[in-house]
Structure 1
Amino acid sequence: MRDSNDIITVLGVIGTDPEAKTTPSGVPLIKFRMASTQRKFDKNSSSWVDGNTNWYTVSAFRGLAANAIRSLHKGDPVIVTGRLHLRAWDTGERQGTSVDLEADVIGLDLQWGTASYQRTTRSAPLEPAQVQAQTFAAAEMPAEPSPSDTDAEPLDRWATPGQPAVLETTPF
């Protein structure tokens, strides 16, 4: 299956604790799983019912990653706009398709709550090591354990615009 460069916007809920990482070249990144469930109005029962749930692995890089790790938590309703990537995978025992979303924009869905915005200020650009230290300091805060997601598969490639990077990852 080919990667696509489709730009999409997805509304959903963060299904796993956001995880901070750093590429081998020192670029900060964040990744998390996101569930997006279709809702339909059932005329027979005159009520809204859940339809299919689509799962996405969301990744973000650089400043967006550094801000996201400080702001996002498992269970948060979010809106993500970015590039959709479909990748076939095969472990020898199982095979499937990974649906990845490389985020350009991530926001909290204010239909379900309120937020307080705080602009990040930097007097000088941060060196990658400084961003990594800040990112991991935020990521080390205690978090509740996440249940295993049986349909999640590990990603073995993270594409950064203009600079592909290969990371070792573990399944969610």
Structure 2
Amino acid sequence: MRDSNDIITVLGVIGTDPEAKTTPSGVPLIKFRMASTQRKFDKNSNSWVDGSTNWYTVTAFRGLAANAIQTLHKGDPVIVTGRLHLRAWDTGERQGTSVDLEADVIGLDLQWGTASYTRATRSAPLEAAQPVAAGSGEPSPADTGDAVPHEHWATPGQPAALEPTPF
């Protein structure tokens, strides 16, 4: 199977605890599995039903990884845009295809809850980004070009019908 470098956007739910790592050259990264389940309206039952689920291994690097590890949790609904990589694998006993997504952008899906934004600044190495308190007088990202978004996730009470599909 050929490796693909298509840019895609996927909506889904984080299915594993995000894992923080560092490359041998010291670059921070985050890795997690994400499930995207197709929902269809069934006219016979007059209700929404789950279709098939696609699983992706999502990886992000540098500032995005540093902010994401402070923000994301298993079960969070997310939107990820990045480069799709399809890889065939063979262990001798089993064969399959890995579907990997190297994230350029990760956001929380606000259809299911609210988020609070805290700007992070880069001082020295990228992995040392620290959050900046709101109203601290720090310049905006447009002024400096070096700010990195940072979000905190909150889940308000929602009717059961609006909750993300568990897996």
Please give the TM-score of this superposition, normalised by the length of structure 1.
Answer: 0.72
**Structure 2 unaligned spans of 5+:** 130-167
Tell me what 2:28 maps to.
28
Larger radius of gyration: 2
Tell me what 1:148 maps to.
none
Tell me what 2:98 maps to.
98
Tell me what 1:57 maps to.
57
After superposition, what is the alpha-carbon deviation per residue over 1:127-148, rounded to whole angstroms, capped at 9, x for unaligned?
66x57xxxxxxxxxxxxxxxxx
Shift of 1:46: 1.1
The CA distance in 1 between the partners of 2:114 and 2:90, in whole Å, is: 42
Instruction: After TM superposition, list the pairs within 5 Å mapping 1:38-49 onto structure 2.
Output: 38-49=38-49
* Contact kept in structure 1, 2:33 and 2:58, CA below 8 Å: yes
Q: 1:127 to 1:44 in 2, by over 3 A?
A: closer
Instruction: After TM superposition, list the pairs within 5 Å mapping 1:51-90 onto structure 2.
Output: 51-90=51-90
After superposition, what is the alpha-carbon deviation per residue over 1:35-87, rounded to whole angstroms, capped at 9, x for unaligned?
00000011111111000000000000000000000000000000000000000
Please give the TM-score of this superposition, normalised by the length of structure 2.
Answer: 0.74
Percent of paired sites with the same residue = 89
Larger mean Cα displacement after TM superposition, 87-96 or 12-21: 87-96
Return the structure number with greater strand share. Answer: 2
Shift of 1:92: 1.5
The CA distance in 2 between the partners of 1:39 and 1:76, in whole Å, is: 18
How many residue pairs match? The answer is 129
Q: 1:127 to 1:53 in 2, by over 3 A?
A: closer
Shift of 1:125: 2.8
**Structure 1 unaligned spans of 5+:** 132-172
Tell me what 2:124 maps to.
125
